[in-house]
């Protein structure tokens, strides 16, 4: 695991978008795992900007999202399909037939989960998985006590997750209480992982996830087992980390990070895509 501390949330998002763009340029047929949430809106805004200004090409890319609510149609404003179309897919040259999310409206949810796993394998597995982290340390919707070898499945959401996510619905009472999610094991199968964490409210759980013990109570702690996981955080999220000096030294001195050390153009993101 490598951890990088950036000056603010914009610079952290720009670095993550730059890492994704580099991977896509090196491998046009990239299989990309995607996440949702407010933290990711900045990343997708930068990727849209790179597509428009630098001709970043998504035409051969395939994407798989971490999760989807059970019972929401794809055109529901609270669904993750709607989110992805609104923030990314409708603004880049990706073939929508190559964008996959778990089917939360399937009549047989267990079969839909099996098909999702099989489709990922048909495309050769996920090359790069983008992640955020929940306040209790969940990745995807792998709530506390999720098995660290779990696969895509149905999952009941915790009251705290429902309380946080319901604020994103026009009618909070429409927030589903269950979802389909990639399992922790599915996530760990990705060749490379990037975890983006910003804001002081995530500082405690970030420290537990990356510097604490590996435990099913904090599903993100399983990322410590992954051989190619990069964690990008801002200063506010980093305040509880014990090894800050080392993390800064690595970013400032390791050759792999040299091309990313220039000051980020963090105020150039397109206003249309800036998070509210």
How buried is residue 213: exposed, middle or buried, by Cβ count under 10 Å (0-12/13-18/19+)? exposed
Q: Does the annotation mark 234 as catalytic?
A: no
pTM above 0.85, yes or no: yes
Q: Does the annotation mark 189 as catalytic?
A: no
Q: Which of 138, 189, 226, 234 is catalytic?
A: 138
Q: Which of 10, 41, 67, 127 is catalytic?
A: 67
Interatomic CA distance for residues 234 and 237, integer angstroms: 5
Interatomic CA distance for residues 109 and 206, integer angstroms: 32
Q: Does the annotation mark 143 as catalytic?
A: yes
CA quadruple 105, 108, 111, 113: dihedral, nearest 10: 30
What 8-state DSSP symbol labels residue 7? S
Q: Does the annotation mark 67 as catalytic?
A: yes
pLDDT of residue 273: 45
Residues 29-53 pLDDT 10s: 999 999 999 999 999 999 999 999 9
Where the chain has pLDDT below 50, the residues are 269-276
pLDDT of residue 274: 42
Interatomic CA distance for residues 198 and 269, integer angstroms: 17
pLDDT of residue 271: 45
Q: Which of 143, 226, 234, 273 is catalytic?
A: 143
Positive or negative, the Cα torsion across 155, 159, 160, 166? positive
* Residue 191 neighbours by CB under 8 Å, 6+ apart: 125, 126, 127, 128, 228
pLDDT of residue 265: 73
Instruction: List domains and CATH numbers for the chain.
Output: 2-273 (3.40.50.1360)
DSSP per-residue string spanning 15-61: HHHHHHHHHHHH-TT-EEEE--SHHHHHHHHHHHHHHHHH----TT-
Name the β-bridge partners of 229: 193
pLDDT of residue 134: 96
Interatomic CA distance for residues 23 and 118, integer angstroms: 24
pLDDT of residue 262: 85
Q: Which of 2, 136, 174, 235 is catalytic?
A: 136
What 8-state DSSP symbol labels residue 172? G
* Residue 273 neighbours by CB under 8 Å, 6+ apart: 41, 44, 45, 48, 49, 87, 91
pLDDT of residue 266: 57
């Amino acid at each position: 695991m490598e951890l990088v501390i950036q000056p603010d949330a914009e610079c952290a998002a720009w670095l993550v978008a730059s890492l994704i763009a580099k991977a896509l340029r090196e491998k046009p047929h990239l299989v990309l795992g995607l996440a949702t949430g407010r933290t990711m809106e900045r990343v997708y805004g930068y990727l849209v900007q790179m597509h428009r200004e630098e001709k970043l090409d998504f035409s051969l890319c395939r994407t798989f999202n971490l999760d989807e609510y059970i019972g929401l149609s794809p055109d529901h404003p609270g669904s993750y399909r709607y989110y992805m179309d609104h923030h990314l897919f409708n603004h880049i040259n990706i073939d929508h037939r190559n964008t996959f999310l778990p089917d939360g409206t399937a009549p047989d949810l267990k079969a839909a989960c099996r098909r999702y796993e099989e489709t990922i394998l048909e495309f050769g597995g996920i090359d790069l998985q983008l992640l955020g982290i929940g306040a209790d340390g969940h990745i995807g919707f792998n709530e506390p006590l999720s098995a660290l070898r779990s696969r895509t499945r149905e999952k009941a959401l915790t009251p705290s997750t429902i309380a946080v996510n319901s604020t994103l619905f026009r009618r909070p009472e429409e927030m589903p209480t269950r979802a389909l999610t990639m399992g922790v094991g599915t996530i760990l199968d990705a060749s490379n992982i990037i975890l983006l964490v910003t804001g002081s409210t995530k500082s405690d759980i970030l420290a537990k996830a990356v510097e604490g013990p590996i435990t099913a109570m904090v599903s993100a702690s399983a990322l410590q087992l992954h051989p190619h996981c990069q964690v990008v955080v801002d200063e506010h999220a980093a305040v509880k980390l014990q090894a800050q000096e080392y993390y800064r030294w690595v970013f400032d001195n390791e050759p792999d990070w040299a091309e990313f050390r220039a000051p980020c153009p963090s105020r150039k993101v397109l206003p249309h895509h800036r998070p509210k």
